[in-house]
Amino acid sequence: MVITRFAPSPTGHMHVGNLRTALHNWMWARKQGGRFLLRIDDTDAERSREEFVDGIRADLDWLGLGYDGEERQSARFDRYEAQFQALREAGRVYPAYETPQELDLKRKVLLGRGLPPVYDRAALHLTDDARAALEAGGRRPHWRFRLNHDAPIGWTDHIRGEQRFDPSRMSDPVIRREDGSWLYLLPSVIDDIDMGITDVVRGEDHVSNTAVQIQMFEALGATPPAFAHEALLTGSEGKLSKRLGSLGIAHFREAGIEPQALVALLARIGTSDPVEPEPDAGRLAATMDFARFGRAPARFDESELATLNAKIVHQLPYDRVADRLPSGMGGEAWETVRPNLSTVRESADWWRIIEGPVETGDLSEENEYLEIAAEVASEIDWSDDPWHALTGALKERTGRKGRALFLPLRRALTGLDHGPDMAALLPLIGRERAIERLSA
């Protein structure tokens, strides 16, 4: 069974890049009939907040991305410790004592010589006495995972194809800090093993992490999952945008964006499939194919999202929006104004036009015509199709047609030059309000 996971750190609100990662893991699991798990990576006790955990759950719920289980890294420290000790006994982790300043100096020296800034493994050559002297002087070690330089790293990526890394050209990664706290790499591998993760979808900025983690899987006697590294999002200006790092669910909800629109856009940008106003995430999942993911950065454009949102809104049935509509607005009114909306909240503007009063501006040049219209409106049958009855009678009586016939009526009745079909709108305005507006 395919099992994917979404593993956010609760150190802030999720942004649009996180949402895309969660969505693609969810889609892949749903397409394969598998499971999608939520893992809260809360090893950073200082920065992790329970309010952000609640926000992550709420955001996934708003998007309709149900998950099939949840784990918390903060509840698994004993497991990490046990696996860490096993790796230590096997000689795959070792203590290192360099300060950040010393490491930075080493990197600068190597770069100055035109060499890659790879850690020189100096800590492996320290004697027991040297280590004891450092610790006696107040140094505490950080811990590195020892890469196997004799085992080339490779995997077939779902998106990037064949990947090859030479471990001798990579630094042994730090997996544990001086204070004993964990960095991302090793706990994630331990969790993926224990949770039975078979597939990991994440950003291409994790490719080098994947390379070292594959050796961690093997050192722990496990088969690595399959990986898919997707192109990163860029802003509408075509560059990696800091703004994307601040665009979260709150921003989209405040803008009136429907979750279906956000899902439909994030599901397809960066692929060769067209972005379509598909309101059913399950149907989107059924079309997911890593072969259609491109290597070029995926462009996230808020104007495209707004256009897509309007198309989604035009498909929403009344029962999906009833609790968000103005008091008193029923299904008939929703069906009438819906084609003119970009967001559901704009329905309130049209409801005010239906209920009145409306500001019409200066219609003094049309006073005589509108007086006749008010008189006709009081005489016609309102039970069937009052708009065509009204305009038909006015055409006969005044000889007007086209714009001269229709536009003054629309302006007097709605205060606007455009809007929903008046044949549908006029019955909602009703006989009394219509006569009053025409008479005004």
- Predicted confidence at residue 247, as pLDDT, reads 87
Tell me which of 154 and 243 has the higher pLDDT: 154
How would you classify residue 64: left for phi > 0, otherwise alpha for psi between -120 and 50, otherwise beta? left
Q: What percent of the chain has pLDDT over 70?
A: 99
- When computed from its CA atoms, the radius of gyration of the chain, rounded to whole angstroms, is 32
**Residues 89, 220: Cα–Cα separation, whole Å:** 12
Give me the chain's average pLDDT, please.
95
Residue type, position 396, single letter: E
273 CB-near residues (< 8 Å, 6+ apart): 287, 289, 292
Check whether 240 has a pLDDT greater than 70.
Answer: no
Q: What's the rounded mean pLDDT across residues 263-269? A: 96
Contact 185, 179 (CB under 8 A): no
**CATH number of this structure's domain 89-176, picked from the four choices 3.90.800.10, 1.10.600.10, 3.10.20.90, 3.40.390.10:** 3.90.800.10
DSSP string, 74-92: GG-HHHHHHHHHHHHHTTS
Q: Is 395 annotated as a binding residue?
A: no
Q: What percent of the chain has pLDDT over 90?
A: 94
3-77+184-234: CATH architecture: 3-Layer(aba) Sandwich (3.40)
pLDDT band at 245 (very low <50, low <70, confident <90, very high): confident
- Predicted confidence at residue 238, as pLDDT, reads 65
Question: pLDDT tens, 114-146?
Answer: 999 999 999 999 999 999 999 999 999 999 999
- Predicted confidence at residue 250, as pLDDT, reads 92
Please check whether the domain covering 364-439 is classified as CATH 3.30.70. Answer: no
Per-residue tokens: 44: 């950073």
- The answer to whether 89-176 and 249-313 have equal CATH topology is no
**Residues 306, 291: Cα–Cα separation, whole Å:** 28
Which segments of 167-258 does DSSP mark as H helices, in order? 185-194, 207-219, 249-254
**Residues 322, 345: Cα–Cα separation, whole Å:** 11
Question: pLDDT tens, 324-342?
Answer: 999 999 999 999 999 999 9
Contact 158, 290 (CB under 8 A): yes
Of 202, 286, 230, the closest CA to residue 27 belongs to: 286
249-313: CATH architecture: Orthogonal Bundle (1.10)
Per-residue tokens: 270: 């960066």
pLDDT band at 239 (very low <50, low <70, confident <90, very high): low
Q: Which of 23-37, 256-270, 349-363 has the lowest mean pLDDT?
A: 349-363
pLDDT band at 241 (very low <50, low <70, confident <90, very high): low
**Residues 34, 28: Cα–Cα separation, whole Å:** 8
Question: pLDDT tens, 59-116?
Answer: 999 999 999 999 999 999 999 999 999 999 999 999 999 999 999 999 999 999 999 9
Q: Domain coordinates of the chain in residue numbers? A: 3-77+184-234, 89-176, 249-313, 318-355, 364-439
Q: What's the rounded mean pLDDT across residues 6-10? A: 96
